[in-house]
């Protein structure tokens, strides 16, 4: 049985006071007993606020992740943040290859693979994001695109080091658009991802949590999470509102 995971991707949002309020509300929701421990809950603030959020969340069940990392080890890389630094400030996971990084900041498949290796080497759980554009979906290439992104990111890594791997399927056309994949569309891609993982290693495929991301809201979360191969969600906009985020977490318990 895979444990559900709901991770909030705050993207480039937040201020010290606002983060404090949001995390306090999430923590009191988690502590109120409305959400049993069958779901893992994580937030991924901007790197500069990771330490702040971690200090608030320490000794609670709220896990803290980062949104990106540098593929290189510490050194002369002005402006970058290494995997070891993320571990040092208390991160347990990091998003790798989010579509905004791929399309806006030049994260190629090769760089995504290098970032994933660095995360793994540092003991961080990599949350690998894959997903097709609208054009690719319309031309019937969804499964091929997702498969290619997945295999290229994992190439060169043996299944034994992929223990903590999480994969997030995020159709680019559904991110921040209010347009969600239907539960069936998402399940089809998730099933394919699991099949592709099985070609690498059977037990690994059964163990890896597959998250859906792209306009997940309290109103659609339950149906998505009820799908056989959807083990939780990566939540952007709705993770900035504590009530919505907690409602989505509760939907993962039922799923």
SS3 state of residue 196: helix
142 by Cβ neighbours in 10 Å (0-12 / 13-18 / 19+) ranks as buried
Q: Is 202 in the site for ligand PGA (CB under 6 A)?
A: no
Q: Is 216 in the site for ligand PGA (CB under 6 A)?
A: yes
Angle between helices 218-225 and 183-200 in degrees, nearest 10: 50
Q: Is 210 in the site for ligand PGA (CB under 6 A)?
A: no
Judge whether 170 counts as a catalytic residue: yes
Stretch that binds ligand PGA, among 49-57, 86-94, 209-217, 222-230 (CB under 6 A): 209-217
Q: Is 213 in the site for ligand PGA (CB under 6 A)?
A: yes
Q: Is 8 in the site for ligand PGA (CB under 6 A)?
A: no
Q: Is 235 in the site for ligand PGA (CB under 6 A)?
A: yes
Q: Is 9 in the site for ligand PGA (CB under 6 A)?
A: yes
User: CB 172 → ligand PGA: shortest distance, Å?
Assistant: 9
Read off the DSSP letter of residue 137. H
User: CB 159 → ligand PGA: shortest distance, Å?
Assistant: 26
Q: Which two tokens mark 205?
A: 């495929």
Structural contact between residues 8 and 217, judged by C-beta atoms closer than 8 angstroms: no
- Interacting positions 147-176 with ligand PGA (CB under 6 A): 170, 175-176
Q: Is 83 in the site for ligand PGA (CB under 6 A)?
A: no
User: DSSP secondary structure string, 20-51?
Assistant: HHHHHHHHHHHHTTSS-TTEEEEEE--HHHHH
Nearer to ligand PGA, 123 or 176 (CB): 176
Given 63, 91, 234, 249, the residue binding ligand PGA (CB under 6 A)? 234
Contacts of 174 (CB under 8 A, 6+ apart): 180, 181, 213, 214, 215
Compute the distance between CA of residue 145 and CA of residue 140 in angstroms, rounded to an integer: 10
Q: Is 214 in the site for ligand PGA (CB under 6 A)?
A: yes
Number of residues that bind ligand PGA (CB under 6 A): 13
Q: Which residue is nearest to ligand PGA (CB)?
A: 236
Judge whether 190 counts as a catalytic residue: no
From residue 25, how far is each of 12, 134, 243, 253 by CA, in Å? 20, 36, 8, 19
Q: Is 236 in the site for ligand PGA (CB under 6 A)?
A: yes
Instruction: Give me the residues that bind ligand PGA (CB under 6 A), please.
Output: 9, 170, 175-176, 213-216, 234-238
For the annotated catalytic residues, the residue numbers are 98, 170
């Amino acid at each position: 049985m895979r444990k559900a995971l709901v991770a909030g991707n705050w993207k480039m949002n937040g201020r010290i006071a606002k983060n404090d309020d949001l995390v306090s509300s999430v923590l009191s929701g988690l502590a109120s007993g409305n959400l049993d421990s069958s779901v893992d809950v994580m937030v991924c603030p901007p790197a500069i606020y990771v330490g702040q959020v971690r200090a608030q969340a320490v000794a609670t069940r709220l896990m803290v992740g980062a949104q990106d990392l540098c593929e290189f080890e510490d050194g002369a890389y002005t402006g970058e943040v290494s995997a070891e630094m993320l571990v040092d400030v208390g991160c347990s996971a990091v998003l790798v290859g989010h579509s905004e990084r791929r399309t806006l900041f030049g994260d190629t498949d090769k760089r995504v693979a290098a970032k994933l290796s660095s995360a793994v080497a540092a003991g961080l759980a990599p949350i690998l994001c894959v997903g097709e554009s609208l054009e690719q979906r319309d031309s019937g290439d969804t499964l091929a695109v997702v498969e290619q992104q997945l295999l290229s990111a994992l190439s060169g890594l043996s299944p034994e080091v992929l223990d903590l791997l999480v994969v997030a399927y995020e159709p680019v056309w559904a991110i921040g658009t209010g347009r969600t994949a239907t539960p069936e569309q998402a399940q089809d891609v998730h099933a394919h991802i699991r099949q592709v993982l099985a070609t690498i290693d059977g037990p690994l495929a059964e163990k890896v949590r597959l998250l859906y991301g792209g306009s997940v809201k309290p109103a659609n979360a339950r149906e998505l999470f009820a799908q056989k191969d959807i083990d939780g969600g990566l939540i952007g906009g709705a993770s900035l509102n504590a009530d919505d985020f907690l409602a989505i977490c509760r939907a993962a318990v039922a799923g």
